[in-house]
């Protein structure tokens, strides 16, 4: 059809179709560049629809943005952050970037690091490790590890990591707080001091 129209314009009306073709090619290139990003986002929206890496209501982390997906559109995805701001992310970036769907995790992890004074006896260290294991042996915690990780020139380090079910952030923070407070009470009962708890300053008189 295009070739036929060009021939009619050339032979019937005597128009110079060469210049018309050049103009059309420039306009076509400009339209293609203008629509490129929109087409990429549209294709990405179909990928999200069929592959379902996330759905509305999921808590996701992408491009250093963490929040809840509120709406998935043809061009962009809207995310409500923990600061209650609404961020619009192009669907192409949602597909091309590394996306962490936090709603699909099977557990939540927390860490407890205790730096004890170097004067702590080995027997007290064993009691401390055993006491922390007892604290972590609660129904909300599914698995845990406790061990003396390192001995440095400043402290004896006990590391603990534990895992809960995928609870809400409020429930998870409540468990972390209880574990931390119970660990401090344990150190008080065993009379074990944290590294740097006591600092002696001595003034030496010169000759």
Question: Residue 140 belongs to a domain with what CATH number?
Answer: 3.30.70.100
- Please report whether residue 116 resides in a domain: yes
Which range in 2-11, 20-29, 180-189 is most confidently predicted, on average pLDDT? 180-189
Pairing of strands 86-90, 76-81: antiparallel
Question: How large is the average pLDDT for residues 146-151?
Answer: 94
Query: How confident is residue 202, by pLDDT bands cut at 50, 70 and 90?
Result: low
Query: How confident is residue 114, by pLDDT bands cut at 50, 70 and 90?
Result: very high
Tally of structural domains, the chain: 2
Question: How large is the average pLDDT for residues 170-178?
Answer: 94
**100 and 112 in one domain?**
no
**170 and 126 in one domain?**
yes
**140 and 154 in one domain?**
yes
Query: How confident is residue 131, by pLDDT bands cut at 50, 70 and 90?
Result: very high
**119 and 170 in one domain?**
yes
Q: Read off the pTM.
A: 0.64
- Give pLDDT, residue 82: 86
- Please report whether residue 24 resides in a domain: no
**148 and 78 in one domain?**
no
- Please report whether residue 205 resides in a domain: no
**124 and 182 in one domain?**
yes
* Residue 45 DSSP SS3: helix
- Give pLDDT, residue 173: 93
What integer best gives the mean pLDDT of the chain?
85
**114 and 159 in one domain?**
yes
**134 and 61 in one domain?**
no
For a pLDDT cut of 90, what percent of the chain falls above it?
57
Task: Tell me whether residue 106 is exposed, middle or buried, using C-beta atoms within 10 angstroms of its C-beta: 0 to 12, 13 to 18, 19 or more.
Answer: exposed
Residue with tokens 């491009």: 63
Query: How confident is residue 108, by pLDDT bands cut at 50, 70 and 90?
Result: very high
**157 and 113 in one domain?**
yes
Question: How large is the average pLDDT for residues 159-176?
Answer: 93
Query: How confident is residue 198, by pLDDT bands cut at 50, 70 and 90?
Result: low
- Is the model's pLDDT at 41 over the cut of 90? no
Query: How confident is residue 38, by pLDDT bands cut at 50, 70 and 90?
Result: confident
Taking alpha carbons only, the member of 98, 79, 87, 89 closest to residue 45 is 89
Instruction: Tell me the pLDDT tens digit for each residue of 11-27.
Output: 665 666 566 566 666 66
- Is the model's pLDDT at 8 over the cut of 90? no
Quote the CA–CA distance of 93 and 90 in Å, as a whole number.
6
- Please report whether residue 40 resides in a domain: no
- Give pLDDT, residue 10: 63
- Please report whether residue 18 resides in a domain: no
Q: What domain range is 118 assigned to?
A: 108-190
- Please report whether residue 185 resides in a domain: yes
- Is the model's pLDDT at 207 over the cut of 60? no
**133 and 91 in one domain?**
no
- Give pLDDT, residue 94: 92
- Please report whether residue 22 resides in a domain: no
- Is the model's pLDDT at 135 over the cut of 90? yes
- Report helix angle 122-136 to 169-190, nearest 10: 150
- Please report whether residue 5 resides in a domain: no
**152 and 90 in one domain?**
no
């Amino acid at each position: 059809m295009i070739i036929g129209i060009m021939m009619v314009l050339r032979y019937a009306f005597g128009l110079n179709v060469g210049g018309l073709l050049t103009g059309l090619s420039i306009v076509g290139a400009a339209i293609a560049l203008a629509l490129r990003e929109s087409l990429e986002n549209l294709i990405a929206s179909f990928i999200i629809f069929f592959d379902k890496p996330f759905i509305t209501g999921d808590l996701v982390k992408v491009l250093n943005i963490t929040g809840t997906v509120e709406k998935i559109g043809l061009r962009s995805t809207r995310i409500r952050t923990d600061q209650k701001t609404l961020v619009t992310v192009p669907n192409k970036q949602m597909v091309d970037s590394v996306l962490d769907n936090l709603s699909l995790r099977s557990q939540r992890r927390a860490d407890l690091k205790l730096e004890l004074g170097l004067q702590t006896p080995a027997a007290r260290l064993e009691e401390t490790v055993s006491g922390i294991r007892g604290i972590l042996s609660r129904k909300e915690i599914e698995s845990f590890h406790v061990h003396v990780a390192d001995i440095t020139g400043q402290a004896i380090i006990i590391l603990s990591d534990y895992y809960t079910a995928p609870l809400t952030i409020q429930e998870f923070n409540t468990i972390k707080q209880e574990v931390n407070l119970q660990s401090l009470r344990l150190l008080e009962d065993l009379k074990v001091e944290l590294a740097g708890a006591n600092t002696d300053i001595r003034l030496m008189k010169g000759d």
